[in-house]
């Protein structure tokens, strides 16, 4: 039975191509995550997330990436169903053929990763679209500028009574802001809830951003989350064991000279990338 009306090899190549895009994105994500470990109060990390959140080229790739994730998952599920239907009567004795262990469980390891992705999106990605409330940060300069504008309006008598009261409240709040709401360099207000954003920056302040730095540290402070995170990256490693080598096979890149090199690179990739991600909670748990 065919659930997708394309040739089997076309489907296989599509799955590989979307997978390739995800493979390219992982090191980028890892690079940003590793900024968490720099003891600079989140300056690098914040700059990186600001760039990823605002750059237009990145925004285009964000859509491509999301589409890749979705299509990679959808095609994989449909192919698995098709493949299951290709053998309506199963064998009584389970296969004893020796095959690369991880290649047989791609749909399961993939499923675990997809579940984690949902958690990950709820924790971080959806905050960007205001679907979930997180923690926010705001540039002090922007807040000041906003405040000055309001102050000028106050002097020329353009503000209503309500706005005047809120400006006074903001003035009072900001003059007593506690140290943990500021980053190390005193450039940003950080770790704010939605209400605090309104309080410290004014009701109509728009230039706040999600504070992924403090959100991550807060999540990693939770031992249960850290352990789940580590387990997921072990599973991701398993998934990646069958990624690059399989990709080369699918795209027809099989060569006496290069295939052994690709196999080594694939193995290195499958070990280094998950290890890099896992290093972050491990470092935070044991080194700090």
Residues lying near another protein in the complex (CB under 8 A): 1-2, 7-13, 79, 82-83, 85-100, 103-104, 106, 242, 245-246, 248-254, 259
* Shortest spacing between CB 15 and another protein, in angstroms: 9
Percent helix, strand and coil across the chain, each rounded to 5? 70, 5, 25
* Shortest spacing between CB 270 and another protein, in angstroms: 15
Six token digits for residue 32: 């940003």
* Shortest spacing between CB 16 and another protein, in angstroms: 9
Closest CB to another protein among residues 93, 288: 93
* Shortest spacing between CB 85 and another protein, in angstroms: 7
Closest CB to another protein among residues 10, 54: 10
| CA distance linking residue 232 with residue 19, whole number of Å | 18
Question: Facing residues of 53 across strands?
Answer: none
Closest CB to another protein among residues 110, 281: 110
Strand 209-210: give its sheet, edge to edge. Answer: 188-192, 136-139, 209-210
Six token digits for residue 223: 């031992």
31: three-class secondary structure by DSSP: helix
* Shortest spacing between CB 5 and another protein, in angstroms: 10
Asked if residue 247 lies in contact with residue 269, where contact means CB atoms within 8 angstroms, the answer is no
Closest CB to another protein among residues 135, 242: 242
* Shortest spacing between CB 84 and another protein, in angstroms: 8
Asked if residue 19 lies in contact with residue 75, where contact means CB atoms within 8 angstroms, the answer is no
Closest CB to another protein among residues 142, 249: 249
* Shortest spacing between CB 239 and another protein, in angstroms: 13
Q: In b/e form, how buried is each residue of 139-157, taking b as 16+ CB within 10 angstroms?
A: bbebbeebbeebeeeeeee
Asked if residue 12 lies in contact with residue 249, where contact means CB atoms within 8 angstroms, the answer is no
What residues contact 288, with CB distance under 8 A and at least 6 apart? none
Q: Taking Cα atoms as reference points, which of 265, 273, 196, 280 lies closest to residue 236?
A: 273
* Shortest spacing between CB 89 and another protein, in angstroms: 6
| CA distance linking residue 152 with residue 156, whole number of Å | 6
Closest CB to another protein among residues 16, 199: 16
Closest CB to another protein among residues 96, 206: 96
Closest CB to another protein among residues 52, 71: 71
């Amino acid at each position: 039975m065919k659930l997708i009306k394309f040739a089997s090899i076309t489907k296989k190549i599509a799955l590989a191509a979307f997978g390739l895009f995800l493979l390219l994105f992982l090191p980028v994500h890892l690079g940003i995550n590793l900024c968490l470990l720099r003891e600079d109060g989140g300056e690098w990390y914040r700059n990186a997330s600001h760039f990823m959140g605002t750059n237009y080229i990145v925004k285009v790739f964000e859509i491509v990436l999301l589409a890749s994730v979705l299509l990679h998952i959808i095609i994989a599920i449909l192919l698995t169903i098709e493949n299951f239907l290709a053998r309506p009567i199963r064998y009584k004795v389970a296969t004893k053929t020796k095959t690369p262990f991880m290649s047989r469980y791609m749909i399961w390891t993939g499923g675990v990763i997809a579940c984690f992705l949902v958690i990950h999106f709820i924790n971080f990605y959806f905050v960007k679209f205001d679907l979930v409330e997180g923690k926010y940060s705001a540039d002090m300069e922007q807040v000041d500028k906003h405040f000055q504008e309001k102050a000028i309006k106050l002097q020329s008598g353009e503000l209503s009574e309500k706005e005047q009261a809120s400006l006074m409240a903001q003035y009072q709040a900001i003059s007593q802001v506690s140290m943990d709401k500021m980053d190390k360099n005193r450039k940003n207000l950080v770790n704010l809830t939605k209400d605090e954003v309104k309080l410290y920056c004014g009701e109509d302040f728009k230039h706040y951003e999600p504070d992924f730095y403090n959100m991550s540290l807060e999540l990693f402070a939770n031992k249960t989350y850290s352990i789940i995170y580590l387990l997921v990256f072990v599973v991701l490693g398993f998934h990646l064991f069958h990624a690059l080598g399989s990709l080369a096979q699918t795209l027809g890149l099989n060569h006496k000279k290069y295939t052994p090199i690709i196999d080594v690179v694939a193995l290195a990739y499958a070990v280094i990338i998950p290890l890099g991600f896992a290093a972050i909670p491990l470092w935070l748990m044991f080194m700090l």
